[in-house]
Amino acid sequence: MNAATAPSKIALVTGAGTGIGRACALALLREGWGVVLAGRRAEPLQQTLAEAGERAANALAVPTDVGDPASVKALFAATRERFGRLDLLFNNAGAGTPAMPLEDLTYEQWKAVVDVNLTGAFLCTQEAFRLMKAQTPQGGRIVNNGSISAHAPRPFSAPYTATKHAISGLTKATSLDGRAFNIAVGQIDIGNAATDMTERMARGVPQANGSTMVEPRMDVQHVANALLHMASLPLEANVLTMTVMATQMPFVGRG
């Protein structure tokens, strides 16, 4: 693709400065999408742009706090001003807390995770609905990063697990509400993608039976490929839920 060619499809990726978000943003750029990169810190977003090379001409980096309504409104205003429309929103930004007993969690720790993982996804979805309903042609696609934790918890992970279970509800509710406006909403549940966030799994992490075990991981590019597949579908088709995981990770069954 010629980087100077105006992209015909526009995506917005939250948490685009690191890990899964960076891999997915770069994959979309390679496929010719215009991509808005959102994340809390400007420096990692600039690193994603640097890795994009000449394709960075079709990208826009917008430092954003997804838990803040004004910041999210500014993000979508910048998207509309630069590209005029939005075809794909990947709600990927996420945060957790250190593993600790439930009773030791502070309110501030709980609220910080809820603000990013749940409120952030809601606010971005709300703004995406407004833009996708108003644009011509009407509609678009929203994909939420639900995580394996949308189905099964790790020990000492109440805030993260609770918000990821809530994402499943948000996915279903907005999939229903988006029908009339050609907005397709789905969810990708990711298990042990090899990023900085999962480095600890290569050293060993606590298991439900009280043991500590090294967990297999998979190349993060498999996640990007899965998102590309979901994004490639016509709006008449939707992947409501997809699980992409390291085959041998302890998830299915009892471990």
What is the pTM for the complete model shown? 0.94
Please write the tens of the pLDDT for every residue from 49-105.
Answer: 999 999 999 999 999 999 999 999 999 999 999 999 999 999 999 999 998 999 999
Residue 179 has a pLDDT of: 97
Q: Looking up tokens 């099964």, which residue turns up?
A: 152
- The low-confidence residues of the chain, meaning pLDDT below 70, are 1-4, 254-255
Residue 1 has a pLDDT of: 42
Q: Looking up tokens 């994402």, which residue turns up?
A: 167
Determine the Cα–Cα distance for residues 220 and 199; give it in Å rounded to an integer: 12
Residue 2 has a pLDDT of: 46
Determine the Cα–Cα distance for residues 102 and 107; give it in Å rounded to an integer: 11
Measured at the alpha carbon of residue 81, what is the angle toward residues 79 and 86, in degrees to the nearest 5?
40
Q: Report the half-sphere exposure of 215 (CA within 13 A, side-chain side).
A: 23
Domains of the chain: 10-245 (3.40.50.720)
Residues known to be catalytic: 160
DSSP assignment of the chain equals: --TTSPPSSEEEEETTTSHHHHHHHHHHHHTT-EEEEEES-HHHHHHHHHHHGGGGGGEEEEE--TT-HHHHHHHHHHHHHHHS--SEEEE-------S--GGG--HHHHHHHHIIIIIHHHHHHHHHHHHHHHSSS--EEEEEE--GGGTSPPTT-HHHHHHHHHHHHHHHHHHHHHGGGTEEEEEEEEE-EESGGGHHHHH-EE-TTS-EE----EETHHHHHHHHHHHHS-TT----EEEEE-TTSS-STT-
